[in-house]
Amino acid sequence: MRLRKLVQRSLSLDSLKILVPKIEALALSSIQNWAHHHNNNGHVVNTFKEMKRFSFDVGILTIFGYLEPHLKEELKKNYWIVDKGYNSFPSTIPGTQYQKALLARKKLGKILCEIICERKEKKLVDRDLLSCLLNWKGEGGETLNDDQIADNIIGVLFAAQDTTASVMTWIVKYLHDQPKLLQTVKAEQKAIQKSNEVDNLPLSWNQTRNMPITYKVVLESLRMSSIISFPFREAVADVEYKGFLIPKGWKAMPLFRNIHHNPEFFSEPQKFNPSRFEVAPKPNTFMPFGSGVHACPGNELAKLETMIMVHHLVTKFRWELVGSECGIQYGPFPLPLNGLPTKFRRESTTYN
């Protein structure tokens, strides 16, 4: 709960407002190589991997604010090694993915301690997560040591990526599969793009909060994909539910997909239909980020970076899926098979 409050503070709406132009810059940087300029024949990318790189950069931004490029690259290099090997078969054999992940985790800790020491020396007062962790004091005056801060940062980095990247990957697929809906989203986003181009303005916070069609697409993508399968909860007292007793101390894991795909709550649940969110869902029937005090503290950031990415995807690209295979893979979150290989082509910037 202590860490949760610190994360919430660094990701408050006031903090997110000032991040909009920086997140937009990261989105533009991420997509600039997705299509070739010289012939516009398109460039096949692994959508999930590209979205994951973008989410990583956003995570770095929210944790550190500005970070020296060489430190960012070192973090990224070692993070990907940990990400690839932490869930592999535990082995003491040198050279295995698991052992590589352990070594990379130690390197991550050293790099983070270097960043922490530098921040302490400069005594910077920022609104990012690192500043919140450095400035935290408990009721008894206790503070977090460098190792605790590093552990928390790595945990937040992991939490910030796969889930958001998975949702953005599904959005690319859902919009591709529904051309009429894609055109509606394009129209909404191109109107915003056109209004900004007059004075060469970036996206504003207010604009990201006024994309009703796109926002419903994001919500429906969260419902359909149900990236988070279940939360771990412990009964703090005996609970009786529909004739079943859940004894105190037992673990309960409500399956969000079963809730989100229940026809009693959502008509034709297997159909992608963003218009269903024109009416707010009944309480406790739509929980893509969990609920209550345990809800994901980064949910507003996830939605913000998704809205910004969708804005630039639909205004700058046309795309087609590559390969005839379709299906879902789990790693551990559900995403389109093979990370959704996609060919992107640059969109014309002319207006009707």
With a cut of 50, list the residues of the chain below it in pLDDT.
Answer: 37-38, 351-352
The tokens for 153 are 């940062």
* Contact assessment for residue 349 and residue 317, using Cβ atoms and an 8 Å cutoff: no
Residues in the chain: 352
Write the burial class of residue 229 (CB in 10 Å: 0-12 exposed, 13-18 middle, 19+ buried).
Answer: middle
The tokens for 346 are 């640059």
The tokens for 176 are 């591709």
Dist CA 81 CA 46 (whole Å): 18
The pLDDT of residue 274? 98
Q: Is 296 marked as binding a ligand?
A: yes
Residue 240 to residues 44, 237, 244, Cα–Cα distance (Å): 52, 10, 5
CATH code reported for the domain at 1-66+126-346? 1.10.630.10
What CA dihedral angle connects 239, 241, 245 and 249, to 10 degrees?
A: -40
Dist CA 115 CA 71 (whole Å): 8
Residue spans of the domains in the chain: they are 1-66+126-346
The pLDDT of residue 33? 78
Tell me the sheet residues that pair with 321.
342
The pLDDT of residue 179? 96
pTM of the model: 0.90
The pLDDT of residue 38? 46
Placement of tokens 């006031």 in the chain: 14
> Which of 313, 305, 303 is CA-nearest to residue 193?
313
The span from the first CA to the last CA of the chain, in angstroms, equals 52
The pLDDT of residue 249? 94
The pLDDT of residue 332? 78
Q: Which residues lie closer than 8 Å to 132 by C-beta, 6 or more apart?
A: 6, 7, 9, 10
> Which of 99, 134, 138 is CA-nearest to residue 116?
134
